[in-house]
A and B are shown apart, each in its own frame.
Chain A
């Protein structure tokens, strides 16, 4: 197990991080204009001072290596747009908010998705099946940035049940989490249904039935084990989507999360903030995917033996 993790870290995590950091670094450095080009008229001397203060006058490669070495100590530098605050500080402040939002969305997606998939699979080609699958198709086709405002329109503006935006009360969590998670309810529901249908025709299900077990036990104890694996595999891309989705949901609902910071940073050409956020996201994704892979290997006995 340790060897597996160590191998993961050295052969995959670090190279992937390096690649992503490098791509981002050169992408923004190669862009026309600098971080201050959107400022209104700055005199040349001030511009030069700013550039040398932030080390932007050094040759590109030097900047690159300097940046990499600083990264090792988790020092992403100061934010260009919020002087006096470091990028690390800003990330530490805003990430927990996004994490909370993402977790709620994920839980909604998993619970609703798996349940509806199971309902649909219990009687294939019945009304139950078509209904659940059509509703879940809706989830895929109504984008989060349409669903979000729609929910706000109905529940906040017309019915007055929730606040229009903000992240203060407990009820503020509900609409954003729903808007973010609904798409994934759809995917997970379809995955669960398909996977359950394939599992239920396996020989070992017939054996379980021949032992006199009830259908409920058969589904929950025997079928779900195997059927859940594709859903787990989907969690990786789902997490990536949740990050992307957070950009728009946090913007719509004025949630002070990392997603909104990133979008603002991009618009403001806040180099350090952009770099820091991207590298941080990469780290999160890789960490998350490693956990998912370990979980999958753990749940599949054949793979588990090879882990040892």
Chain B
């Protein structure tokens, strides 16, 4: 089932000031697609993912826009509707598996919860399904291990358990918020390959949020690059790397140290990081961009197609003034 995100903005109203974490984002996910959302800390990518399932604390957070899924608008539908979708048709996994599990309950309790909550099946059946899913994520002796407490698992094992917990209800969409950031590189690779396998098996769509362009390259079909709460560039993965159409994306690519080249200094994107409490005019990346000119600080931001299925909001690229 596809997800259609239209003009979502999320802001936080704190004592006196308003912080705009997500500004007018639109994107869509098709059936079976893996969509990557890439950005640095503070780009708003996590806030975006949380607002899809309405997990932002509601008094300070205000979410506007639409997120069309099936016949529902996730942003504006009644509470009981969003609750029936969470963990059932759209599941989410988080960055730190150890803090994301309840330390006081056994994994069996936590993994069967989505099933018992959304489907009318017996405990026995639920346990069976959960154990089966756990074994599919690569945990050995799942019928024994499922009765353990979270602290008895390693980080990698716990992340597998979290994936199992998210998939017991065979959701159509999985939102993965930096699931491998807390893991070492080898485990990272294992988890990613596991996610790919399960995605194919259950024809799921995945929204993959990360700051790591390297992961995106091997994993995602489509990529959206976020900065300051806005999407600066969207493209299919190969196209993004081959025909990079935004200075920010180019800078991100250059920041990844290469095994092949020898450099004296690592490339660093200069300038101060973006301040979300300040009002925005023009391109948010302009202060730090090596290609910026006066117009960049005034232009209206709009994503325009510059190549098949490849969008950018950099006006200089659009006008053909520069090439990367």
Contact = CB atoms under 8 A, between A and B. Distances in A.
A212 B88 contact: yes
B300 interface: no
Given A206-B55, A212-B83, 11 more contacts: A203-B94, A203-B100, A204-B99, A204-B100, A209-B55, A210-B86, A210-B87, A211-B114, A212-B88, A225-B104, A301-B104
B281 interface: no
B104 A208 contact: no
Nearest to A205: B102
A222 B86 CA distance: 17
A302 interface: yes
B117 interface: yes
Interface residues of B, number: 27
Nearest to B83: A212
A210 B83 contact: no
B152 interface: yes
B114 A212 contact: yes
A210 B103 contact: no
B316 interface: no
Interface string B156-180: 0000000001000000000000000
B152 A305 contact: yes
A209 B57 CA distance: 11
Interface of B: 53, 55, 83-88, 91-92, 94, 96, 99-105, 113-114, 117-118, 149, 151-152, 165
A131 interface: no
Contacts, number: 71
Interface residues of A, number: 22
Contacts of B94: 203, 206-207, 210
Nearest to B53: A210
A301 B149 CA distance: 7
Given A207-B94, A301-B151, A212 B117 contact: yes
A149 interface: no
Interface in A199-221: 202-204, 206-214, 217, 221
B114 A202 contact: no
A299 B103 CA distance: 10
Contacts of B53: 210
B105 A222 contact: yes
B175 to A, nearest CB: 9
A256 interface: no
A236 interface: no
A214 to B, nearest CB: 7
Contacts of A194: none
A74 B85 CA distance: 65
